[in-house]
Amino acid sequence: MKIRKCRVTLCCFVLGLLVMIMACISSKERIETFHRQALVWDCHNDLSYRVLYEKLDIGQRLPAGHVDIPRLKEGGVDVQTVALFIQNFLYPDQCARQARQLQAAMLKMIEQNSDQVELARTGSDIERIVAAGKIAIPLAIEGGHAIENSLENLREFHRQGVSSMTLTHNVTHDWADSGADEPRWGGLNELGREVVPESNLESSIQLLPEDQVRLSNDPKKTEIFRDAGLGLFIHWGPNSQVGSEISWPLNNASKEYIEKYYALAETFNPIKFDAAEWARLAKLAGMEYVVFTTKHHDGFCMFDTKYSQFKITNTPYAKDIVAQVAEAFRKEGLLVGFYYSPGDFRYHYETGVPQQGLMTPAFESEVSFGPEQKSFLAYEQGHVEELLTRYGDIFMLWFDGKCEPLKKHAWRIRQDVFIGRGEIPTPEQRIPGKAADHAWESCMTTSWQWSYQPHPDLRTSKEVILNLVKIRARGGNMLLNVGPKPDGRISDPDEAILRDLGLWMMMYGEAVREVRPWTVTNESDVWLTQKKNGEYSTLYAVTDFSYDEEGTSRQPFSGRRFTLKSVKATEQTEVSILGQSGTCQWHQDEKGLHITAFNQHTVQIIAYPGNNPEFKQRAWNWGPDWPVAIKITKVKPIMR
């Protein structure tokens, strides 16, 4: 009898175990079904890329589209627990409808797997849910402004061993068929035109049809660019270790030199690089946008691309520089722009295809190149796709060379991306002599070399400031270049110039932001800009002060008297020095507007810069000795 009871008990135990196993298998099937349907809507948010692909160590970006278990395993994702990160806060106006559709789909999937799913909003929630063997779903959708909390949650999820996956897509496309295993992507773009997917793309990026692309810059983006006025240009690469110019030493170089140049990537390790510090310095200097070299003529990629092995993530540093720059500068409120060289010496070096010139792209070459074995054009189009879809809202692409197929491809991906060089005039190291009422940009260095130079022949801060004033008076932007050191820091001389520029912009920046040319660019050494406004103009006169006209026994004269023949004041006109309290003396007659301005604002103490021997013994003066901006309101031009 005991043996029979034991047998019955054993059978019941085995039967119960089988039931539990079948239940687990059924549960696993439901979980895997959930995984296959799980999506994350990403509105061009580079911060989520950083967290999902770097902080969580997923590795290569998962292909977008239908996300299944084998694909997750290939990406190195632990499929037992998948954290889903929903976001709709970066572009709320554009994403609202799509986000609601996605949230509805997510809720439906959650309902279908309710016994295995629980919502989480904090790290402690995750710990509890994971301990219970369930799937944790962090939702960051409250009010559409949860980015910091959400990122911290994701970091906590990582600490708790939770993996993540993502599916990205352009914000202008609809997500439909929310309950299906195979999501459909398509819909209308921001212009109300049908978006057509192309089978040759490596991801779900969908391009505008070629006959529907506007082959020019967006007028609104053009106005934003012209208003900005001042940008920071950054040339940087492995060559900085020896202080040579970037890329150009490869031109007419011997094979031995080329090999040594390229070997510099093997030791490039900028351990002191801090993108946040760069961005703070740029903001302090009054910069409104940044243009960073993602790939120069030498072919070295400062970003993690799948199309080339010659890249920053294959150096001892091993981190995506471009991702850090984009995130840090955007956080400080600067517009993000990417320099990209269509010419690629590395392609010719590895393939043996003859090169016409360092900056000449081999768009016609079909010789395969890189890990993906792409033709030259497909290789560079792949780069453009990565740069415009992986790093958040990119305001500008700056093509240094012939770029027609790349420019068109960029506009098919992002119709509103602003193209700098390649679409607008961008003179180097010079300022055009006449004003132009359209977008243009003068590219200037702090010294003469674009890349880092250990002993540079620097421009003075006053020269940099005066260049900015002249460029803005003529309707252009100034893109001021610095070349960081090999360890990642901005060099001391460049930092000093940027800090001086920051002080000047702190006092007089209003005179060069959101301005356009006056009827004349200058009257003698007085440079003129005007605000964009209505019937009456706000005018800015930027000029040096004089120190030798007169003075007292206590203090030499610091000021200026001048006449503007192109300006007619009104009864409402006021004249003042920007940054200084009070107003200036002025009067109008048939010869023009006469202004007397005195410096009464002690910002720096400097040596007396004048030539009057009476004051040479008094070795101090109110400074700095830089151009001063005078604001003149409610004026009209005198047409002669």
pLDDT at 576 over 80: yes
CA dist 553 and 497 (Å) reads: 34
Is CATH 1.10.357.10 the right assignment for the domain spanning 213-511? no
pLDDT at 568 over 50: yes
Tell me what the mean pLDDT of segment 351-363 comes to.
90
In sequence order, the 6+-apart residues with CB closer than 8 A to the CB of 454 are 243
Instruction: Check residue 533 and give its pLDDT.
Output: 73
3-state secondary structure of 497: helix
Long-range contacts of 567-570 (CB under 8 A, 24+ apart): 567/539, 567/592, 567/593, 567/632, 567/635, 567/636, 567/637, 567/638, 568/593, 568/635, 568/636, 568/637, 568/638, 569/593, 569/632, 569/634, 569/635, 570/536, 570/634, 570/635, 570/636
Instruction: Check residue 13 and give its pLDDT.
Output: 53
Instruction: Check residue 438 and give its pLDDT.
Output: 96
CA dist 221 and 420 (Å) reads: 11
pLDDT at 538 over 70: yes
Model pTM above 0.85: no
52: DSSP letter: I
Element (H, E) at 125: helix 123-131
3-state secondary structure of 196: strand
pLDDT band, very low/low/confident/very high, at 639 (cuts 50, 70, 90): confident
Tell me what the mean pLDDT of segment 553-578 comes to.
86
Instruction: Check residue 46 and give its pLDDT.
Output: 35
Instruction: Check residue 197 and give its pLDDT.
Output: 39
What HEC string does 575-611 produce? EEECCCCCCCEEEEECCEEEEEEECCCCCEEECCCCC
Instruction: Check residue 20 and give its pLDDT.
Output: 52
pLDDT at 378 over 70: yes
Q: 31-40, 124-133, 311-320 — which is least confidently predicted?
A: 31-40
Give the pair of three-digit tokens for residue 619.
């070795």
pLDDT at 45 over 60: no
Instruction: Check residue 600 and give its pLDDT.
Output: 82
pLDDT at 498 over 70: yes
In sequence order, the 6+-apart residues with CB closer than 8 A to the CB of 484 are 234, 236, 240, 270, 273, 278, 452, 490, 491
Instruction: Check residue 137 and give its pLDDT.
Output: 61
pLDDT at 218 over 80: yes
Instruction: Check residue 146 and give its pLDDT.
Output: 30
pLDDT band, very low/low/confident/very high, at 11 (cuts 50, 70, 90): low
Compute how many other C-beta atoms are within 10 angstroms of the C-beta atom of residue 16: 10
Is the Cβ–Cβ distance between 410 and 417 less than 8 Å? yes
Q: 202-216, 220-234, 266-280 — which is least confidently predicted?
A: 202-216
CA dist 398 and 411 (Å) reads: 13
Instruction: Check residue 171 and give its pLDDT.
Output: 27
* Average model confidence (pLDDT) across the chain: 77
Q: 272-286, 507-521, 523-537, 607-621 — which is least confidently predicted?
A: 607-621
Q: Find tokens 């920007």 and name the residue.
A: 578
pLDDT at 549 over 60: no
Instruction: Check residue 404 and give its pLDDT.
Output: 97
Q: End-to-end CA distance of the chain, in Å?
A: 123
Q: Most confidently modeled of 10-14, 61-65, 125-129?
A: 125-129
The residue that leads in pLDDT, 631 or 558, is 631
pLDDT at 55 over 50: no
Is the Cβ–Cβ distance between 619 and 610 less than 8 Å? no
Tell me what the mean pLDDT of segment 149-160 comes to.
45
pLDDT band, very low/low/confident/very high, at 148 (cuts 50, 70, 90): very low
CA dist 326 and 312 (Å) reads: 15
pLDDT at 616 over 50: yes
In this predicted model, what pLDDT tens digit does every residue of 220-272 receive, in sequence order? Answer: 999 999 999 999 999 999 999 999 999 999 999 999 999 999 999 999 999 99
The residue that leads in pLDDT, 207 or 164, is 207
Is the Cβ–Cβ distance between 187 and 177 less than 8 Å? no
Instruction: Check residue 329 and give its pLDDT.
Output: 97
pLDDT at 76 over 80: no
In this predicted model, what pLDDT tens digit does every residue of 300-309 receive, in sequence order? Answer: 999 999 999 9
In this predicted model, what pLDDT tens digit does every residue of 435-483 receive, in sequence order? Answer: 999 999 999 999 999 999 999 999 999 999 999 999 999 999 999 999 9
Computed over its alpha carbons, how large is the radius of gyration of the chain? 30
pLDDT band, very low/low/confident/very high, at 296 (cuts 50, 70, 90): very high
In this predicted model, what pLDDT tens digit does every residue of 160-178 receive, in sequence order? Answer: 444 333 332 222 222 223 3
Domain map (residue ranges) of the chain: 20-197, 213-511, 515-637
> What angle in degrees, to the nearest 10, is found between the helix axes of 2-37 and 92-112?
160
Compute how many other C-beta atoms are within 10 angstroms of the C-beta atom of residue 521: 17
Give the pair of three-digit tokens for residue 342.
């269509």
Tell me what the mean pLDDT of segment 387-406 comes to.
96
